[in-house]
Amino acid sequence: MDIRTPFEMRPGVPAYAAVRDVIRAEIMDGEISAGARLTTAFLVKRFGISQMPVREALQALEGEGLIRILPHKGATVLSLDSKRVGNIYDLRGAVEALLVRKCLPNITNAAMAELSEIHRVLKDAVDRGEPRTVFDLNTKFHSLIYRYAQNPEAEGVYDRYAKLLGTLRGRYGFSPFRMHQMVDEHDEILDALRRQDEAELDVLMRSHVEGAKLDLVSRIEIEEAAPPKTGTL
Protein backbone atom coordinates (compact mmCIF):
# COMPACT_ATOMS: atom_id res chain seq x y z
CA MET A 1 0.00 0.00 0.00
CA ASP A 2 1.27 3.41 -0.92
CA ILE A 3 1.20 6.46 1.27
CA ARG A 4 -1.50 8.53 -0.41
CA THR A 5 -1.88 11.03 2.31
CA PRO A 6 1.66 12.04 3.06
CA PHE A 7 1.46 11.75 6.80
CA GLU A 8 2.59 14.68 8.80
CA MET A 9 2.02 15.40 12.43
CA ARG A 10 0.02 18.46 13.23
CA PRO A 11 0.70 20.09 16.57
CA GLY A 12 -2.04 19.49 19.10
CA VAL A 13 -3.22 16.31 17.38
CA PRO A 14 -1.89 13.17 19.04
CA ALA A 15 -0.29 10.69 16.69
CA TYR A 16 -2.73 7.94 17.61
CA ALA A 17 -5.69 10.17 16.74
CA ALA A 18 -4.20 11.22 13.42
CA VAL A 19 -3.38 7.66 12.46
CA ARG A 20 -6.80 6.46 13.62
CA ASP A 21 -8.51 9.08 11.47
CA VAL A 22 -6.47 8.21 8.39
CA ILE A 23 -7.14 4.50 8.73
CA ARG A 24 -10.82 5.08 9.45
CA ALA A 25 -11.19 7.21 6.34
CA GLU A 26 -9.46 4.60 4.23
CA ILE A 27 -11.70 1.85 5.54
CA MET A 28 -14.83 3.91 4.99
CA ASP A 29 -13.71 4.80 1.47
CA GLY A 30 -13.25 1.13 0.76
CA GLU A 31 -9.60 1.75 0.06
CA ILE A 32 -8.74 -0.83 2.67
CA SER A 33 -11.18 -3.59 2.01
CA ALA A 34 -12.92 -5.95 4.40
CA GLY A 35 -10.75 -8.79 5.57
CA ALA A 36 -7.52 -6.87 5.09
CA ARG A 37 -5.00 -7.36 7.83
CA LEU A 38 -3.54 -4.32 9.54
CA THR A 39 -0.22 -5.26 11.05
CA THR A 40 1.40 -3.06 13.62
CA ALA A 41 4.80 -3.44 11.98
CA PHE A 42 3.51 -2.14 8.67
CA LEU A 43 1.71 0.81 10.19
CA VAL A 44 4.75 1.71 12.27
CA LYS A 45 6.79 1.90 9.10
CA ARG A 46 4.12 3.62 7.07
CA PHE A 47 3.44 6.42 9.53
CA GLY A 48 6.90 6.63 10.98
CA ILE A 49 5.75 6.45 14.59
CA SER A 50 6.35 3.92 17.31
CA GLN A 51 4.24 0.94 18.26
CA MET A 52 2.28 2.33 21.18
CA PRO A 53 0.33 5.02 19.29
CA VAL A 54 -0.36 2.57 16.47
CA ARG A 55 -1.75 0.12 18.95
CA GLU A 56 -3.95 2.79 20.51
CA ALA A 57 -5.27 3.78 17.11
CA LEU A 58 -6.19 0.17 16.41
CA GLN A 59 -7.89 -0.23 19.75
CA ALA A 60 -9.93 2.89 19.09
CA LEU A 61 -10.99 1.56 15.70
CA GLU A 62 -11.98 -1.71 17.29
CA GLY A 63 -14.13 0.27 19.70
CA GLU A 64 -15.81 1.93 16.73
CA GLY A 65 -16.60 -1.44 15.24
CA LEU A 66 -14.44 -0.97 12.16
CA ILE A 67 -11.82 -3.59 12.84
CA ARG A 68 -11.44 -6.66 14.96
CA ILE A 69 -8.34 -7.48 16.95
CA LEU A 70 -7.77 -11.16 17.63
CA PRO A 71 -5.20 -11.95 20.31
CA HIS A 72 -1.89 -12.82 18.72
CA LYS A 73 -3.44 -12.70 15.29
CA GLY A 74 -3.51 -8.99 14.66
CA ALA A 75 -6.21 -6.71 13.35
CA THR A 76 -8.54 -7.38 10.43
CA VAL A 77 -10.95 -4.98 8.79
CA LEU A 78 -14.61 -5.80 9.32
CA SER A 79 -17.05 -5.62 6.48
CA LEU A 80 -19.76 -2.99 6.21
CA ASP A 81 -21.97 -5.10 4.03
CA SER A 82 -25.74 -4.91 3.87
CA LYS A 83 -26.12 -7.63 6.49
CA ARG A 84 -24.05 -5.77 9.06
CA VAL A 85 -25.63 -2.40 8.31
CA GLY A 86 -29.02 -4.04 8.67
CA ASN A 87 -27.99 -5.43 12.05
CA ILE A 88 -26.84 -2.02 13.21
CA TYR A 89 -30.14 -0.47 12.15
CA ASP A 90 -32.06 -3.20 13.96
CA LEU A 91 -30.11 -2.43 17.11
CA ARG A 92 -30.70 1.27 16.66
CA GLY A 93 -34.37 0.73 16.11
CA ALA A 94 -34.73 -1.09 19.40
CA VAL A 95 -32.71 1.53 21.26
CA GLU A 96 -34.37 4.52 19.65
CA ALA A 97 -37.81 3.14 20.41
CA LEU A 98 -36.71 2.87 24.03
CA LEU A 99 -35.30 6.39 24.07
CA VAL A 100 -38.37 8.00 22.61
CA ARG A 101 -40.59 6.22 25.11
CA LYS A 102 -38.45 7.20 28.03
CA CYS A 103 -38.29 10.85 27.06
CA LEU A 104 -42.02 11.29 27.60
CA PRO A 105 -41.98 12.16 31.30
CA ASN A 106 -39.15 14.66 30.85
CA ILE A 107 -39.56 16.40 27.54
CA THR A 108 -40.35 20.07 27.87
CA ASN A 109 -42.62 22.38 25.99
CA ALA A 110 -39.61 24.37 24.85
CA ALA A 111 -38.08 21.19 23.45
CA MET A 112 -41.29 20.45 21.57
CA ALA A 113 -41.19 23.91 20.05
CA GLU A 114 -37.57 23.40 19.03
CA LEU A 115 -38.44 20.06 17.47
CA SER A 116 -41.21 21.66 15.44
CA GLU A 117 -38.79 24.29 14.22
CA ILE A 118 -36.18 21.68 13.23
CA HIS A 119 -38.93 19.77 11.50
CA ARG A 120 -39.98 22.85 9.55
CA VAL A 121 -36.46 23.57 8.33
CA LEU A 122 -35.97 19.90 7.48
CA LYS A 123 -39.06 19.99 5.27
CA ASP A 124 -37.58 22.95 3.40
CA ALA A 125 -34.34 21.07 2.90
CA VAL A 126 -36.25 18.12 1.48
CA ASP A 127 -38.13 20.40 -0.89
CA ARG A 128 -34.88 21.95 -2.02
CA GLY A 129 -33.31 18.51 -2.34
CA GLU A 130 -30.36 18.98 -0.01
CA PRO A 131 -29.59 15.51 1.37
CA ARG A 132 -26.66 16.68 3.46
CA THR A 133 -28.80 19.23 5.30
CA VAL A 134 -31.56 16.66 5.62
CA PHE A 135 -29.16 14.27 7.25
CA ASP A 136 -27.87 16.84 9.73
CA LEU A 137 -31.33 18.05 10.70
CA ASN A 138 -32.58 14.50 11.06
CA THR A 139 -29.70 13.76 13.44
CA LYS A 140 -30.48 16.94 15.36
CA PHE A 141 -34.17 16.04 15.58
CA HIS A 142 -33.47 12.61 17.01
CA SER A 143 -30.66 13.62 19.34
CA LEU A 144 -32.78 16.35 20.87
CA ILE A 145 -35.52 13.88 21.70
CA TYR A 146 -33.15 11.32 23.15
CA ARG A 147 -31.45 13.80 25.42
CA TYR A 148 -34.64 13.87 27.48
CA ALA A 149 -34.65 10.12 28.01
CA GLN A 150 -31.93 10.58 30.63
CA ASN A 151 -30.39 7.23 29.81
CA PRO A 152 -26.73 7.84 28.90
CA GLU A 153 -26.11 4.14 28.36
CA ALA A 154 -28.79 3.86 25.69
CA GLU A 155 -27.77 7.18 24.17
CA GLY A 156 -24.23 5.84 23.98
CA VAL A 157 -25.35 2.93 21.83
CA TYR A 158 -27.15 5.36 19.56
CA ASP A 159 -24.08 7.59 19.31
CA ARG A 160 -21.70 4.72 18.82
CA TYR A 161 -22.82 3.98 15.29
CA ALA A 162 -23.91 7.51 14.40
CA LYS A 163 -20.66 8.53 12.73
CA LEU A 164 -20.39 5.22 10.91
CA LEU A 165 -23.89 5.31 9.49
CA GLY A 166 -23.47 9.01 8.79
CA THR A 167 -20.47 8.36 6.60
CA LEU A 168 -22.35 5.63 4.74
CA ARG A 169 -25.25 8.02 4.23
CA GLY A 170 -22.81 10.56 2.87
CA ARG A 171 -21.80 8.05 0.25
CA TYR A 172 -25.18 6.58 -0.60
CA GLY A 173 -27.51 9.49 0.14
CA PHE A 174 -31.28 9.20 0.57
CA SER A 175 -33.77 8.26 -2.08
CA PRO A 176 -36.24 11.11 -2.75
CA PHE A 177 -38.97 8.74 -1.63
CA ARG A 178 -37.21 8.18 1.66
CA MET A 179 -36.81 11.88 2.34
CA HIS A 180 -40.52 12.48 1.95
CA GLN A 181 -41.34 9.41 3.98
CA MET A 182 -39.04 10.69 6.71
CA VAL A 183 -40.92 13.97 6.88
CA ASP A 184 -44.24 12.20 7.17
CA GLU A 185 -42.91 9.96 9.92
CA HIS A 186 -41.50 12.89 11.85
CA ASP A 187 -44.93 14.45 11.62
CA GLU A 188 -46.48 11.40 13.20
CA ILE A 189 -43.79 11.18 15.86
CA LEU A 190 -44.30 14.82 16.82
CA ASP A 191 -48.00 14.22 17.06
CA ALA A 192 -47.59 11.15 19.26
CA LEU A 193 -45.16 13.07 21.46
CA ARG A 194 -47.76 15.79 21.95
CA ARG A 195 -50.34 13.18 22.86
CA GLN A 196 -47.84 11.40 25.13
CA ASP A 197 -48.80 8.17 23.39
CA GLU A 198 -46.11 5.76 24.52
CA ALA A 199 -47.34 2.65 22.69
CA GLU A 200 -47.79 4.56 19.46
CA LEU A 201 -44.32 6.11 19.72
CA ASP A 202 -42.82 2.67 20.11
CA VAL A 203 -44.45 1.48 16.90
CA LEU A 204 -43.70 4.69 15.02
CA MET A 205 -40.05 4.83 15.95
CA ARG A 206 -39.47 1.21 15.03
CA SER A 207 -40.95 1.63 11.59
CA HIS A 208 -39.19 4.96 11.19
CA VAL A 209 -35.81 3.32 11.71
CA GLU A 210 -36.91 0.34 9.62
CA GLY A 211 -37.64 2.74 6.77
CA ALA A 212 -34.18 4.26 7.03
CA LYS A 213 -32.70 0.78 7.13
CA LEU A 214 -34.50 -0.42 4.02
CA ASP A 215 -33.47 2.66 2.08
CA LEU A 216 -29.79 2.39 2.91
CA VAL A 217 -29.55 -1.39 2.81
CA SER A 218 -31.19 -1.58 -0.62
CA ARG A 219 -28.67 0.92 -1.95
CA ILE A 220 -25.80 -1.08 -0.52
CA GLU A 221 -27.23 -4.28 -1.98
CA ILE A 222 -27.35 -2.73 -5.43
CA GLU A 223 -23.67 -1.95 -5.14
CA GLU A 224 -22.92 -5.42 -3.80
CA ALA A 225 -24.62 -6.96 -6.83
CA ALA A 226 -22.67 -4.73 -9.20
CA PRO A 227 -19.47 -3.46 -7.58
CA PRO A 228 -18.50 0.03 -8.73
CA LYS A 229 -14.83 -0.57 -9.35
CA THR A 230 -13.52 -4.04 -8.67
CA GLY A 231 -15.51 -6.68 -10.49
CA THR A 232 -15.35 -10.41 -9.92
CA LEU A 233 -12.89 -10.78 -12.74
Partner DNA sequence: AAGTGGTCTAGACCACCTT
Partner DNA sequence: AGGTGGTCTAGACCACTTA
Residues that bind DNA in the complex, under the rule CB under 7 A? 11-12, 14-17, 37, 39-41, 48-53, 55-56, 69-75
* φ and ψ of 120, to 5 deg: -60, -45
Q: Which residues contact 116 (CB under 8 A, 6 or more apart)?
A: 190
DSSP-H helix ranges across 48-147: 51-63, 82-103, 109-128, 131-147
Torsion sign over Cα 96, 207, 161, 91: positive
Binding piece for a copy of itself, criterion CB under 8 A, among 4-12, 39-47, 82-90, 179-187: 82-90
Instruction: Return the number of other C-beta atoms located less than 10 Å from residue 112's C-beta.
Output: 15
The reply to whether 63 sits near a copy of itself by the rule CB under 8 A is yes
The reply to whether 104 sits near a copy of itself by the rule CB under 8 A is no
Q: Which is nearer to a copy of itself, 87 or 196 (CB)?
A: 87
Q: Which is nearer to DNA, 21 or 81 (CB)?
A: 21
| Cα 19 to Cα 17: distance, rounded to the nearest angstrom | 5
Q: Which is nearer to a copy of itself, 38 or 80 (CB)?
A: 80
Q: Which is nearer to DNA, 54 or 149 (CB)?
A: 54
Which residues of this protein are in contact with a copy of itself, per CB under 8 A? 52, 59, 63, 65, 84, 87-88, 90-91, 93-95, 97-98, 102, 150-154, 157, 161
